[in-house]
Amino acid sequence: MKDKSLISITDITKEDYKIILDLAETFEKKPKQKILENYVMASLFFEPSTRTRLSFESAASQLGAKIVGFTDASSSSVKKGETLKDTIMMVSNYADIIVMRHPKEGSSRYASEVSSVPVLNAGDGSNQHPTQCLLDLYSIRKTQGTLDNLHVAFVGDLKYGRTVHSLVTALTNFNTTFHLVSPVELKLPSSVKRFIKEKNLNYYQYTELDEVIPKVDILYMTRIQQERFSDPLEYEKVKNSYVLRNSMLDDSKPNLRVLHPLPRVNEITEDVDSNPKAYYFTQALNGVYVRQALLALTLGVK
């Protein structure tokens, strides 16, 4: 994987998943290793994303890398009208690797084509966010001991949720059975469903959350945003139907874990937080180890 950009989850082979997740495990055991002391990471956030940026910068700092960059486009030359191409060509002279977040879909793929150094996509609009997907996979493997043959439920906004699209796509490599729970307006789009169909995997669609919980190993919750509904009445109708309360976990499997890409609003009530099956805060921490693994592999030091 040395020198290879990571733009989309579809760039990763089944073998790569294992290499990345295995290496991330070694960083979890020993996160501070000065293996990137001679490297510079450019952190280009054309739109703010505190969570992802801090996770990447913490990952790089703990490995000894130097960080240059900007935290939103208004503090960069983009504001002066510089094209993405020019910004990337300039920055690739200064850094060994570029981490970028950009509001336009496809921007990271384009950057990887004009850059002389590898690019790690930290989110391009509503398109891809592969490092989020890898930390989800890491969390699933860690809590279940395997990625193979699991029953995974996705709940909430399956239409616009970028993390859902990436994770569903990735899981089609592992013989997953999919349980898709959403309002009719927010069903998983056919462009993502085609990956499930191509592999002939089973999937079930629901509009109610309760009946799914006892069947699954992973419950992946997402936020339903009001602005996704053209009719505010429709939002009012569904907004409380996809809320997870602690009592709903009573009949769940012992190995069930609840994941959420965060930030959460009201879709998981706070009484769930102390349930040992709640895993969403540890899930976020796992992002650091996965990003350390990607930095090390892409720069060729591991």
> In the bound complex, what is the minimum distance in angstroms from residue 83's beta carbon to other proteins?
6
Distance (Å, whole) CA 127 – CA 141: 24
Torsion of CA 160, 163, 169, 173, to 10 degrees: -160
What are the φ/ψ torsions at residue 151 (nearest 5 degrees)? -100, 120
Place of tokens 């490995």: 63
Rg of the chain in Å (alpha carbons): 19
Does 101 qualify as catalytic in the annotation?
A: yes
User: Residue 197: how many CA atoms within 13 Å on its side-chain side?
Assistant: 7
Does 104 qualify as catalytic in the annotation?
A: no
Does 52 qualify as catalytic in the annotation?
A: yes
Residue list 9-68, contact with other proteins (CB under 8 A): 10
Check binding of 85 to other proteins (CB under 8 A): yes
Check binding of 109 to other proteins (CB under 8 A): yes
Number of shown-chain residues binding other proteins (CB under 8 A): 19
Does 53 qualify as catalytic in the annotation?
A: no
Q: Please answer whether residues 221 and 155 qualify as being in contact, where contact means their C-beta atoms are separated by less than 8 angstroms.
A: yes
Enter the tokens of residue 31. 């996160």
CB-nearer residue toward other proteins: 75 or 126: 126
Check binding of 172 to other proteins (CB under 8 A): no
> In the bound complex, what is the minimum distance in angstroms from residue 252's beta carbon to other proteins?
34
CB-nearer residue toward other proteins: 55 or 115: 115
Distance (Å, whole) CA 181 – CA 205: 6
| Interacting residue with other proteins among 48, 103, 214, 300 (CB under 8 A) | 103
Check binding of 227 to other proteins (CB under 8 A): no
CA-based nearest residue to 101, from 52, 65, 165: 52
> In the bound complex, what is the minimum distance in angstroms from residue 104's beta carbon to other proteins?
5
List 71, 87, 102, 129, catalytic entry: 129
Distance (Å, whole) CA 40 – CA 125: 25
Check binding of 140 to other proteins (CB under 8 A): no
Check binding of 107 to other proteins (CB under 8 A): yes
Does 269 qualify as catalytic in the annotation?
A: no
The single-letter DSSP state of residue 190 is H
Segment near other proteins (CB under 8 A); pick from 69-77, 80-88, 260-268, 285-293: 80-88
> 230: burial class by Cβ within 10 Å (0-12, 13-18, 19+)?
exposed
Active site residues: 51-52, 80, 101, 129
Q: Which residues bind other proteins (CB under 8 A)?
A: 8, 10, 83-85, 102-107, 109-110, 124-128, 191
